[in-house]
Amino acid sequence: MNVALAQINYHIGNFSDNCKKIKDAIEKAKEKKADLIVFSELAVCGYPPRDFLDFTDFIDKSYNVLYDISELTDNIAVIIGSPSYNKKVKGKHLFNSAFFIHEKEIKQIVNKTLLPTYDIFDEYRYFEPNDEFNIIDFKGHRIALTICEDLWNIFEDGIYKINPMDELSKLNPDLIINISASPFSYIHDSERERILVANVKKYKIPLVYVNHIGAQTEMLFDGGSMVINSKGVIVEELDYFKEDFRICNIDNISSFFSHHSPSTIKKVSKIEKIHDALVMGLRNYFEKQGFKKAVLGLSGGIDSAVVLVLAERALGKENVLAVLMPSKYSSDHSVSDAIQLAENLGVKYETLNIQDVVDTFENTLQPVFNNLPHNVTEENIQARTRGVLLMGLSNKFGYILLNTSNKSELAVGYGTLYGDMCGGLSVIGDVYKSEVFELANFINKDEEIIPLNTIIKPPSAELRPDQKDSDSLPDYSILDKILYEYIELHQGPREIINSGYEETLVKRILKLVNTNEYKRYQTPPILRVSPKAFGMGRRLPIVAKYLS
C-alpha cells in the first residue's frame, strides 16, 4: 500500500485556500499511484481555530470542504482532520475528528480521545473526548487511526487515565497513523521523536505521522512528518519549516532504511532552529494577514539589529524600513552601527531626531511636574516619543511595527509601555538576551552582517548619560538562568536558591517578574520558540500577591 504524507501550511478559517491545497495534494498523490493520502489534525479549518468553533457556520464550512474533496476519492482514500458534530445529547457539541474518506463517501470518523488542556492547548474547552475504539480496514491493512495527543500518554507518568493505543492494540492493528498539530519549541522535535518511537517499540507496529507546518500567529509548527518502521527506525522524514510531500510503501518498510538524507533539524543547533522558526513565523504572519511591509526602530543595539536581519530574511529588503531615532543621549557609535547594518542589508533607513519632540513634551508637562527632579518618567517620555513616531509611519504608509523587546526584558519589566513595548508582532519576545547574542553570532557565522561593535558593547537603553542595562539588572548570564528556572522549569524561590543563586537576588528577580505581569498583558503577540513563552501558554493573574 502506497501512503502519501501531505505536510501543508494551512490558514485558519481560509476554507477556500485550504481546500485548494488539499485537492492539489490529492491529485498529486493520485498521479503517483498512492492508495491513501494522509493530512494533519484539523487540516480543513486550520489549527488552532479556538472560538471560531463556537460558530455553526464555521463547522458547516468545514463539512462543505469534506464533501468537496470526497469527490476526488474515487480511486484513492483520504485521512484528514476536521471538527465534527457530537450527535449525543450530553457532552460538548463537537469532536476533534479524523475523517476516513473513500469512494466519494465518508466511510468512518475517528474522534480524538486525549484532549490537551495545558500550556498553549485548550481543547477540552471545545471538544468531547472519544470513548469508542475501532479499526479502519483498508487494502488488507488494519489501521489504528489516532490524533496527536492520543500517542503521548505512553509512559507511566502520563497525565491521562487512559492510553488509546492500549485499547486499539486489542483490535490487532498492523499500522498506526497519527495526524497531528504538534507545535514547535526548540526541544520539541527530539521529544516528539522519543514519544513516537516509544509507541512503535511498545506495540511493534509501524507508524505514519503527519504534522502541520507554518505559523498561526504566535504558534509555530515545524513539520517533521515521518514514517517509522516496526523496528523503531525512521525510514522517511519530511522537511522542517517548509511544506513537503512524500510517498512511502508501507508493505516494504519493516527492514530498510530511507534513501533520503536525515532531516536537517537533527544536525542543527538550538539557535539555528530558533532562527529558522522566527523567520518562518514572521513571514507567515505577514503573508496570512495580507501585510507587505514592516517598520522598526533601529537603535544600534543588538535586539533591534537581530530583528532587522530576521525581517529582511523573512520579507525581503525592499519591504523593511529601519528608523533611527537618536536623542541627546545616543552615542555616535550607536548611530553609525545602525547605519552600517542597514547598508549591509540593503534596507532603507530614515533618521528622525527625537530631541525637539522630547523637549516639547517636557516643557508642556513642566507646569504640572513643578520642577520635580528627573527620573524614569523622562526616560519613558523618550521611549514613548519613539513609539509615537513609529506608529505614525505605520499608520501613514501601512507598515506593521515590529517589536524588538527580548524575553529577559519582558520578564522583569525592563521596557516602556506604549514606547519600546508597542508593535504589531513581537519577534524575539520568547528569546532571552543571552540567546539574542547567540543569534547575532549565528547570523554573522559566514560574514559580518551585524557590526561587531553592536555585539560586544555593553547593552544600554541610552535614556540617560552613561546608562547601562547592568545599572538596573544583574548580568544577563545570571539573570537568564534564574528566569529560565522560574519560567520554563516552574521552580520556586527555594529550589532556585538551593541551586546556587544568592537569595536576595532571586527574590528580587521573581518579584520583578510577578509585579510586571500587567505589562505583558499589553504586549503584541509573541512568536513562541521555547517550551514556555509569555502569552497564551502562560496564564497568571495581574492582581496577585505571590512572590511580589
The values of phi and psi at residue 381, to 5°, are -60, -40
Do 160 and 254 belong to one domain?
yes
DSSP-derived secondary structure for 356-381: HHHHHHHHHHHHHHTTPPP-HHHHHH
Per-residue pLDDT at 263 = 45
Q: Is residue 311 part of a domain?
A: yes
Please say which residue of 220, 247, 267 terminates a domain.
267
Name the 3-class secondary structure at 97: strand
CA 235 to chain centre: 27
Per-residue pLDDT at 62 = 98
Catalytic residue among 112, 288, 407, 519: 112
Do 259 and 277 belong to one domain?
no
Grid coordinates belonging to 167: 485499547
Please say which residue of 207, 242, 267 terminates a domain.
267
Q: Is residue 384 part of a domain?
A: yes
Catalytic residue among 21, 41, 288, 462: 41
Name the 3-class secondary structure at 403: strand
* CATH number of the CATH domain containing 326: 3.40.50.620
Do 282 and 157 belong to one domain?
no
Do 156 and 208 belong to one domain?
yes
**Does residue 448 carry a catalytic annotation?**
no
Task: Count the residues in the chain.
Answer: 548
Q: Is residue 194 part of a domain?
A: yes
**Does residue 41 carry a catalytic annotation?**
yes
Catalytic residue among 21, 123, 128, 148: 148
User: Which segments of the chain have a pLDDT < 70?
Assistant: 254-266, 461-462, 464
Cβ proximity of 66 and 80 under 8 Å: yes
Q: Is 214 left (phi over 0), alpha (psi -120 to 50) or beta?
A: left
Cβ proximity of 96 and 129 under 8 Å: no
Q: Is residue 540 part of a domain?
A: no
Regarding beta strands 141-147 and 136-138, do their DSSP bridges make them parallel or antiparallel, or are they unpaired? antiparallel
Q: Is residue 65 part of a domain?
A: yes
Count of CB atoms within 10 A of residue 478's CB?
15
Do 176 and 117 belong to one domain?
yes
Do 323 and 208 belong to one domain?
no
* CATH number of the CATH domain containing 214: 3.60.110.10
Per-residue pLDDT at 313 = 98
Distance in angstroms (rounded) separating the CA atoms of residues 112 and 192 = 18
Do 194 and 283 belong to one domain?
no
Number of domains in the chain: 2
Q: Give the tens place of pLDDT for each residue, 167-177.
A: 999 999 999 99
The values of phi and psi at residue 433, to 5°, are -55, -40
Cβ proximity of 529 and 430 under 8 Å: yes
Please say which residue of 267, 288, 321 terminates a domain.
267
CA angle (501 as vertex; 498, 502 as ends), nearest 5: 110
HSE at residue 476, side-chain half, CA atoms within 13 A, is 19
**Does residue 148 carry a catalytic annotation?**
yes
Per-residue pLDDT at 254 = 65
Beta bridge partners of 236: 227
Do 180 and 81 belong to one domain?
yes
Do 313 and 244 belong to one domain?
no
Beta bridge partners of 348: 321
Do 222 and 359 belong to one domain?
no
Do 285 and 238 belong to one domain?
no
CA neighbor of 334 nearest in space, from 453, 470, 472:
453
List the domain range (segments joined by +) for residue 438.
Answer: 272-467
Rg (CA), the chain: 26
Cβ proximity of 45 and 12 under 8 Å: yes
Q: Is residue 500 part of a domain?
A: no
Do 178 and 240 belong to one domain?
yes
Q: Is residue 454 part of a domain?
A: yes
Q: Give the tens place of pLDDT for each residue, 16-65.
A: 999 999 999 999 999 999 999 999 999 999 999 999 999 999 999 999 99
Q: Is residue 475 part of a domain?
A: no
